[in-house]
Amino acid sequence: MNLVRSIRAALTLTAITPAFAATACGGPGGAVLIVVDTPVTVATTWNGRYDIRTSIDINAPLEIAPCSVITIAPGASLSVRNGGSIRALGTAACPIRIQSAKPVPAAGDWERIDIYGTASSNSLFQHTEILHGNASLYGVVWVEDRASVGLDNVRIAQSTGTGVRLENTARLSTFSNVRFEAIGAEVMKVGPVALASMGRLSADGIPNARVALDGTPSAAAATWRALGVPLEVPSMAIESGVIEIEAGSIVRFAPDAVIAVRNGGALRALGTAASPVVFESAKPAQAAGDWRRIEFYQTSSSTNLLRNTTVRHGGDATYGVLWVEMGATLALESVTMNMNSSCDVGGEGTVNNTGSTVARCAM
């Protein structure tokens, strides 16, 4: 039976789980549920076609069944908080689609999905497409500090700004086969906690595709993996843990960026001859002196290492591109320094050099 059930502001319903018969992949047949001003307050399953007309708070577990299609009206968003969760559990044969409600959809038609720090920790998007969001301020999927989300076989496309934004210590419970297409800004903006859980992603049709690190101090051991797109880094500190950068990584430093390695932290760029690590400028038109330097303090670990690494576009006339404080140690193995605006290595610390040509700054 074809049925359109309208839930209006004057007559709201909660915890509705209509049974829809699934048809071919790409969306179930049967009824369309129109949702207006209806928070999720008890465990609920959406199974079918839903037309979200206003912003909805999700304050209890919400599961979205395979093949479901969720259309969202202009200006509306989904906000997960107060112990709620959103689990979009599509399958390879029957993915879920979250998209614009407009007849002719376009980037920015609706707002975003917010996951707050008060939400449950098990939100997950699995075999899910998220299309047409307006991510100009926060991201199509925005995850507050201390909150968590999993992304497994997810495609985020045709959005006006950042694809996914994870604030400060927000976490990724899983990250696998994540794709971005036609995103208006960086594909992801993350803190160091989320970055440590990320692996390679794909980005198509995105000029200057990149993952942006938010500048929160890195205070735990982690590996920054080769992401398939550059990692953009602002000024920040590496403290209390070893950061290892995987071979093949491209790390782009924001204008005037300074990276400080101190208080037990260490930086280890582990390139290979075939897959070097590259440190370079984040500016579209790269030039010498775009960013400033990396500082290795005497309080840092003695394991600092740049191996098979190219360092370019930096420069500080006083300190050099790599500054090593007295009492600090830095090993350089097959490091290439070029297109910098100053001397290469400053400071009075120990620099153990193997197979690198570097210019020490005058004392």
Instruction: Tell me the per-residue pLDDT of 285-322, one tens digit each, with 9 for 90 and over.
Output: 999 999 999 999 999 999 999 999 999 999 999 999 99
Check: CB of residue 164 under 8 Å from CB of residue 139: yes
User: 271: Cβ–Cβ under 8 A, 6 or more apart, which residues?
Assistant: 245, 247, 248, 249, 277, 307, 308, 309
Check: CB of residue 250 under 8 Å from CB of residue 220: no
d(CA 33, CA 46): 10
d(CA 256, CA 201): 28
Which tokens sit at 313?
A: 């576009």
Which tokens sit at 279?
A: 């440190």
Which tokens sit at 216?
A: 């929160």
Is pTM beyond 0.95 here? no
Please tell me the total number of residues recorded for the chain in this structure.
363
Q: What averages of pLDDT result for each successive group of 10 residues across the chain (363 residues)?
A: 35 32 42 87 97 97 98 97 98 98 96 97 98 91 97 97 96 98 95 96 95 94 97 97 97 98 98 98 97 98 98 95 98 97 96 94 82
pLDDT (0 to 100) of residue 5? 38
Q: What type of residue sits at position 76? A: A
Q: Catalogue the long-range contacts made by 102-106 (C-beta closer than 8 Å, 24 or more residues apart).
A: 102/74, 102/132, 105/131, 105/132, 105/158, 106/132, 106/158
Query: CA end-to-end span of the chain, whole Å?
Result: 84
d(CA 87, CA 124): 5
Q: What type of residue sits at position 23? A: T
Check: CB of residue 39 under 8 Å from CB of residue 56: yes
User: 284: Cβ–Cβ under 8 A, 6 or more apart, which residues?
Assistant: 208
